[in-house]
């Protein structure tokens, strides 16, 4: 059973920084992509940043220049360093992984979400 465990969310003042972590475990043969999405109240879930394959990254325009996604392959963990946070970054942040299991099944897995609140 593949699971994602997220951590690092919380309350931060505008201009501050947070680092989110997401660790994948359980029957993973290969991770094809791993990234972060967010959903603000009353809005659709949207991509923030993702690492694909060997290390190609893709960012939402709102994240470019402020957020950095990185991946530790040995730990099956992805990180999102968020700097210069704005109130509009307030949302629940969800980790998503696209994996091949040890049973050679393709699987899309979501984490439980970690809330980020940017407020003074």
pLDDT along the chain (120 residues), means of 10: 95 98 96 97 97 93 97 95 98 98 96 97
Per-residue pLDDT at 82 = 98
Question: How many residues are given for the chain?
Answer: 120
Distance CA 119, CA 24 (A): 30
Contact at 8 Å (CB) between 100 and 30? yes
- In whole angstroms, how large is the CA radius of gyration of the chain? 14
pLDDT at 53: 87
With CA atoms as reference, report the closest residue to 26 among 120, 105, 117, 116. 105
Please choose, from the candidates 25, 32, 17, the residue with its C-alpha nearest in 3D space to the C-alpha of residue 80.
17
pLDDT at 54: 81
């Amino acid at each position: 059973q593949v699971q994602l465990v997220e951590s690092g969310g919380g309350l931060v003042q505008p201009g501050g920084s947070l680092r989110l972590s997401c660790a994948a475990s359980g029957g993973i043969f290969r991770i094809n992509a791993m990234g972060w999405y967010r959903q603000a109240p009353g809005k659709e879930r949207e991509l923030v940043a993702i690492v694909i394959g060997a290390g190609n990254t893709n960012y939402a325009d709102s994240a470019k220049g402020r957020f950095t996604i990185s991946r530790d392959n040995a730990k099956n963990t992805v990180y999102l360093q968020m700097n210069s946070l704005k109130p509009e970054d307030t949302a629940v942040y969800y980790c998503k992984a696209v994996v091949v299991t040890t049973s050679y099944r393709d699987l899309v897995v979501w984490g439980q979400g970690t809330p980020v609140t940017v407020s003074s």
